[in-house]
Structure 1
Amino acid sequence: MATRTPPPIVTVEEVLAELAALEDPRMREVNQRHGNDIGVNLSKLRAIAKRLKTQHDFAQELWATGDSQARLVAILISSPKKYTVEQLETMLREVRVPKVHDWLISYILKKNPETETRRINWMNDVDEEVASAGWALTSQAVAQRIENLDISELLDTIEAQMKSAPKRLQWAMNECLATIGIHYPEYRQRAIEIGERLEVLKDYPTAPNCVSPFAPIWINEMVARQQATTDLK
């Protein structure tokens, strides 16, 4: 049996210095237009995390620096299930950089089963960043068809609030709307009608070969793909 190579022992200062050496001022300038104080190519940042491997305690040290790039590395080398829900609550409320917020949700919150106990409270939080995380977790719950969801109530809330919601929260609610339409055939037509009536992200520019975030188009495209896959079986 092969012996597993232990992760390298490094200091926070060494990681920060390595990130600083990879800094690209032009990349930082572009990213800052979107609220991200990040000047390191994410592929290179991922390579650092891959080399460090999983080091949960060290991840918490990196997170504590407050440096956005160090926090991205911290997220990648964390053990998501080892965080307490109280720790995640604190981390979520600290984050104000969009890329760190997105990675925290995708790589940590969505993989920690304890977040289900906070999901509904987060959805209704007055903080846009926290609320959007709650809605992102709800989209995952919808896709997994967990038992305690009230789909009709979710659609009622989306219909009443999405149009006027702040941008990040609006995106998260729109994703939930599309996810409902994709995974719940019995609610699909209503989800499409809500999207058509509210017209949220209807004119959002979409790159070639990418699916529009406009919910009616998104729903129909994904359902068509599912059907095509089924027909091939």
Structure 2
Amino acid sequence: MARYGIATDHAYGVTVGELRTVAKELDRDHGLAAELWASGVHEARILASLVDDPALVDDEQFERWALEFDSWDLCDQVCQNLLRYAAPAWAKAAQWTTRPELFVRRAGFSLMAGLAVADKRSDDARFAALLDPLAAGADDDRPLVRKGASWALRAIGKRSPGLYRLALDTAEQLRAGSTGAGWVGSDAVRELGSPAVRKRLRLTGDSSPGR
């Protein structure tokens, strides 16, 4: 686990698949989730994100848990399993992408990516409003941050033809920037400009990179 950047001081090597099996046997339980999180054990904290009730997750819990993220996988698992479904998700996604803490900033991008997939009700305008805070936080040389920024930008761009064009414009602007932003822009342009993505969105030739 350590070679993948996963903290091993409080981990036992239980797979996420095994944790999901356990979670399926349990009901949603906000109190149990709090106890699991308080244990400090890596796998218990992932399980907490699987059994907690997003309807009961408030702003204070968002902040407290995010400040205790100590690896990219815990960050992403908690965001994708739980936080993206909770009420503060949209506000935190926009706010966290410019926070200085490594995993809090990563969590902001993870939330954006998760919302782009899971939120079926929000319109394009709501996602378009995330592009400015995304770009503001993308100029970061830390690999876990810039990979998160690219992930979020690509996810938003693949949501609809309208968002594709806005995300591609953002990626092109980032690509012309400094090292961190440039990497994010180039990585996003590479995937957004791929035939597979363009075919999925039924796009014609006027939206290709470098147009």
Alignment TM-score, normalising by the size of structure 1: 0.66
Task: State which of 206, 211, 216 in structure 1 corresponds to 2:189.
Answer: 216
Structure-2 separation of matches of 1:155 and 1:122: 10
Instruction: Call closer, same or farther: CA 1:195–1:44 in 2, change over 3 Å.
Output: same
Q: How many residues align?
A: 184
Contact (CA 8 Å) 1:142, 1:149: kept in 2 or not? no
Q: Is contact 1:76–1:107 with CA below 8 Å preserved after alignment?
A: yes
CA-CA distance at 1:41 after TM superposition: 2.5
User: What are structure 2's unaligned runs of at least 5 residues?
Assistant: 177-181, 204-211
Moved more, 86-95 or 144-153: 144-153
Structure 1 unmatched runs, 5+? 1-30, 203-213, 229-233
Mapped contact 1:138–1:176 kept (Cα < 8 A)? yes
CA contact (8 A) 2:83 2:89 kept: yes
User: How far apart, CA to CA, are the structure 2 residues paired with 1:103 and 1:152?
Assistant: 23
Q: Which residue is equivalent to 2:110?
A: 136
Q: Helix, strand or coil: the match of 2:66?
A: helix
Residue 187 of structure 1 is matched in structure 2 by 166
Answer yes or no: is the 8 Å Cα contact 2:80–2:111 preserved in 1.
no
Over aligned residue pairs, what C-alpha RMSD do you find? 2.9
- Please say if 1:175 is aligned against 2:151: yes
Relative contact order, higher structure (CA 8 A, sep 6+): 2
Structure 2 Cα separation of the partners of residues 155 and 55 of structure 1: 33
- TM-score normalised to the size of structure 2? 0.72
| Larger Rg, first or second structure (1 or 2) | 1
Displacement after TM superposition at 1:185 (Å): 4.3
Alignment of 1:107-118 (within 5 A): 107-118=81-92
Decide whether aligned partners of structure 1 residues 147 and 130 sit closer, same or farther in structure 2, where only a CA change above 3 A counts.
Answer: same
Measure, in 2, the Cα distance between the counterparts of 1:155 and 1:194.
12
Q: Give me the identity figure in percent.
A: 22
Give 1:34's aligned residue.
4
